[in-house]
Structure 1
Amino acid sequence: MTILEAKEGKVPFSHPSIPPSCHSETYYRVLGGLSSSATPIVVLHGGPGIPHVYLTPLFSRYHALTQNPVILYDQIGCGGSTRFPSKIGDEDFWTVELFIAELQNLLAYLGVERFDLIRGAATGAHN
């Protein structure tokens, strides 16, 4: 199996629902290089509150077999991303729009315009 090239870090994230005094960040991990011509896979973990780590072995193997880059990240509120304990149970804060804005921010930071999306179903995602 090929040795994985991996990059990880945190991306600053701001949103109208997050007070400016909170320095919010999104943790990410990229398996493979985003400069290749292969379309990256963006993986949305299940949740709420479940970080991406349970998906790492599966998508590490996928990347090693296909050489397609994989973007894993922790949505805000869990894992290595900023948590907001004061917002637990606040349905006005935890909105689909917030998570879409976070993903768009991450992709813009990474310079990704074209991608395939794999999503978790624990938060109610379905076809």
Structure 2
Amino acid sequence: MSSLKATLTRELDIPFDAPGADKPCLTHVKVFGELTAGGKTPLVALHGGPGVSMDYILSLSDLSLPPFSIPVVFYDQIGNGHSTHLPEKRGDASFWTDALFLAELDNVLKYLNIQDDYALWGSSWGGMLAARHALSQPKGLKKLVLASAPSSIARWLASANALRRTLPPDVQAALDAGEESRGYGSKEYQAAMDVFFSSFGCRLKPLPEEVKESGRWVGRDDTVWMTMNGPSEFVNTGTLNEWSIIGELHAITTPTLVTNGAYDEAQDDVVRPFVDEIPGATWVKFENSAHMAHFEERERYMQVIGEFLLK
């Protein structure tokens, strides 16, 4: 089931000199709408994971349609989707860092010549990345949307484990058994994770095809996911395990909107520091959504984001 409505305007691969990659790299980009048309500030959308693809956020292409007609840029981050993969860098903590992905974002902005006028929307890990970018107070950044983004991995894990305790006892037992035996790839553990995801990831049935496709990319190449996150949603063993931006957020001067869902893995305590610390930040909670309000309450979500971007 495809849920897309907008027409793809441009698809391209942008050369990226990834520090330490030791080979030419490309960032795969999709653009909906004309970047220079109508005087509208383009929106650059950052996917989460880290380790999935842009597919599950492509619903934001709705913003390129009337009444908002905002051009939207999507890209697969390095190591993900249709961008260059680097399986030889699996486990390389010095390579898979914030700095790598911040450099890639800057490269995309400059290549498309929108570095002087753009907005950022980041989902989950993409929101972590967007917030890091905003800390440097880039002059071209006009608006910032942090969608179900963790302010710290410690809060994210606490939220996930609290939600886990609300699952049926047999599902909790399957998760416990899989983690005790390190059988993360077992049929039983994966089935239990599916229950967790359908409760707190995306509650739509059936899942949109774009969401499924993003998940498939982890199965095709889990280098980024395993190196930065680890084998379990509930214990981060990767390079992000101590990640936090709490205490730094006061430096963000960009008008900011924070969103999450009532059933979100990013529960209120996970996103609250963004609202408390970023001057003037606003918060919208979607009462019928989990982690993907941009699909679960698609029409209302686009209305909220579009109005924020254009005001």
Structure 2 vs 1, CA of residues 3 and 47 (structure 1 numbering), >3 Å: closer, same or farther?
A: closer
Match of 2:119 in 1: 116
TM-score computed with the length of structure 2 as normaliser: 0.38
Query: How far apart are 1:83 and its partner, in Å?
Result: 0.5
Q: Which secondary structure state, in structure 1, belongs to the residue aligned with residue 65 of structure 2? A: helix
- The verdict on how the C-alpha distance between 1:50 and 1:28 changes in structure 2, with shifts beyond 3 A counting, is same
Question: Which position in structure 2 is the counterpart of 1:26?
Answer: 27
Residue 70 of structure 1 is matched in structure 2 by 72
SS at match of 1:94: coil
5+ long unaligned stretches in structure 2: 129-150, 152-273, 275-311
Whether 2:13 is the aligned partner of 1:10: answer yes
Decide which of 35, 52, 55 is 1:53's aligned counterpart: 55
Query: How far apart, CA to CA, are the structure 2 residues paired with 1:6 and 1:53?
Result: 16
Q: Which amino acid aligns with 1:106?
A: V
CA apart distance, 1:62: 2.0
CA–CA distance in structure 2, aligned partners of residues 27 and 106 of structure 1: 10
Rg larger for: 2
Structure with greater helix percent: 2
- Take 2:6 and 2:73, find their aligned partners in 1: how far apart are those partners? 17
Larger CA deviation: 8-17 vs 66-75: 8-17
CA contact (8 A) 2:46 2:127 kept: no
User: Could you tell me how far apart the structure 2 residues matched to 1:76 and 1:3 are?
Assistant: 25
Unaligned runs of 5+ in 1: none
Secondary structure of the corresponding residue to residue 78 of structure 1: coil
Highest RCO, 1 vs 2 (Cα 8 Å, sep ≥ 6): 1
The answer to whether the Cα contact below 8 Å between 2:28 and 2:83 also exists between their aligned partners in 1 is yes
Give the SS at the match of 1:102: helix
Q: How many residues align?
A: 123
Which whole-Å CA distance do the structure 2 matches of 1:7 and 1:76 have between them? 19
CA distance in 2, matches of 1:118, 1:84: 26
CA offset at residue 5 of structure 1? Answer: 5.0
Query: Secondary structure at the residue paired with 1:77?
Result: coil
Identify the structure with the greater strand proportion. 1
Identical amino acids, percent of aligned pairs: 38
Cα separation, 2, equivalents of 1:5 and 1:81:
18
Please say which of residues 100-109 and 59-68 is displaced more in the overlay: 59-68
